[in-house]
Structure 1
C-alpha cells in the first residue's frame, strides 16, 4: 500500500506525527509533503524539524517541487491524508487551486478518484469553511475533524491522539488495532 501524507499549518501536527508512526509500523509506504506553515507548526508544537519528520516517511518532497511523482496521475497511490489541514489548504483544494505540490497532489487524488481524507483544524467554522467542506464532501472526500471521542475513557492526551489516528486509518480502509471500538456496553 502507498499513502501520501500532507502536513499544513493548522494546529494539530501531533496527529500527523502519530499517523506517520502508525503507517511506518504497518509497513505502508509513505510520501510526505509539508507546507511552510506546516514546518513551523511541527517545530512549534512538536519540536520536530523537517529533517526529523521526514525520517518517519519513506519519501519526502519539497512543497515547491512539481516534478515530484505525487504531482502526476500516473503515480500509483492508494490514498492521501492532509493532517492537519488548514482552511487555506482546504479552500485551495475545494477550488482546484494547485499552487503547491501538496495541493497539486490533492487535485490529482480527486481527478483519479482515489481516497482523500482531510483533517481540518479550525474553530469556529465560518460559512465559507463549511461551504468548502460541503463541496469536497459531495465529491467523496472524507472530512474528519479531530474531535475526541470519550466512550473509550481516554486517560491521556496520547489516548485521544491514538484513537483518532486509528479513525484516520479506518477512513483509508487500513486495518488497525488503534481504535478502541464501541461494542455497545
Structure 2
C-alpha cells in the first residue's frame, strides 16, 4: 500500500458531538492508519465544553497532546492549521483518498456543498470530491431545515456519504459510550476498517418475533 492508501483525513468542526470525533480519531490511530487531522476554532470550543479538553491552536502542540493521549506512533498523527495550504490534504496529488468530517457543522456542510474552500477543511473536502474519493459527513443538528437538506442532497448526488449522528438502540446501549461507539462503528464500516465496537445486526441476537417453538 502507498502512503496515501495508509492515511485518512479527519476534520472536527463546531457542531455538538465532540465525543464522536475523538473516538473515531482513537480508532483510526489504533488501526495503524496515519491521520491528517484538522480541528476548527469552533470545534476547539466544543471540545472544551463537552470534553473539558482545551487544545492549543498551534498544530504542533495540538498534535503532541493528542498523540500522547491516544498513544500514537511517531509521525502517525499530523495536525494542520486552517491555512496550511502546502499540506498534503490541500492538493489532489497528495491528499488521502478518504476523508471524514465528524462532527460536521451546518456551516461546514454549506461551505463544502457550495465549494467555498475558504479554510483547509473546506479545501480538503473539495479535493476529495474532485478526485472522486470517499467523503463522509457526520452532521449533528436537529431539526434540519430545507437549506440543510438541500446541501446534504447536493453532496450525496456528488458522491459524498451523509451520515447524521443518529445512533440506534438495537444493540441495547448501557452508556453514552455505547451510543458513541454505534456511530463510530458505522463510519468505520463505510471506511472498510475492521472493528469490534458493537455486535452487528442479526449476529448473537434473538428477535422478540422469533418462533423458537416451531
The 2-side partners of 1:138 and 1:172 are apart by: 19
In 2, the alpha carbon distance for the partners of 1:16 and 1:130 equals 22
Residue 201 of structure 2 aligns to a residue whose secondary structure is coil
8 A contact 1:32–1:54 mirrored in 2: no
The reply on whether 1:71 has 2:90 as its aligned counterpart is: yes
Q: 1:86 touches 1:120 (CA, 8 Å); kept in 2?
A: yes
Instruction: Pick the structure with greater CA Rg.
Output: 2
- Of the three residues 102, 122, 127, the one matched with 2:146 is 127
Which deviations, in whole Å up to 9, do the C-alpha atoms of 1:66-98 show, x marking residues without a partner?
A: 121110101141300001100000000000000
Gaps (5+ residues) in structure 2? Answer: 1-5, 56-61, 71-75, 207-214
CA deviation string 1:8-52 (max 9, x = no partner): 000001100000111111111100011110111111111123223
Task: Judge which range, 57-66 or 149-158, deviates more.
Answer: 57-66
Q: Please name the residue that 2:209 is paired with.
A: none
Q: Secondary structure at the match of 2:35?
A: strand
Paired residues for 1:143-158 under 5 Å:
143-158=162-177
**Alignment coverage as a number of residue pairs:** 185
Alignment TM-score, normalising by the size of structure 2 = 0.83
Aligned pairs for 1:15-30 within 5 A: 15-30=20-35
- Which segment is superposed worse, 160-169 or 95-104? 160-169
Residue of 33, 42, 51 corresponding to 1:37: 42
Give the secondary-structure state (helix, strand or coil) at the position aligned to 1:33.
Answer: strand
RMSD: 1.4
**d(CA) in 1 for partners of 2:67 and 2:17?**
17
In structure 1, distance between residues paired with 2:66 and 2:186: 21
What 5-or-longer segments of structure 1 have no aligned partner?
A: none
- What is the TM-score with the length of structure 1 in the denominator? 0.95
User: Partner residue of 2:126?
Assistant: 107
In structure 2, the residue corresponding to 1:106 is in which secondary structure?
helix
Establish whether residue 11 from structure 1 lines up as the match of residue 16 from structure 2. yes
Once the two structures are superposed, what CA deviation does each residue of 1:118-155 show, in whole Å capped at 9, x if it has no partner?
A: 00011110000000000001111010011111110001
Q: What is aligned with 1:169? A: 188
CA distance in 2, matches of 1:107, 1:24: 24
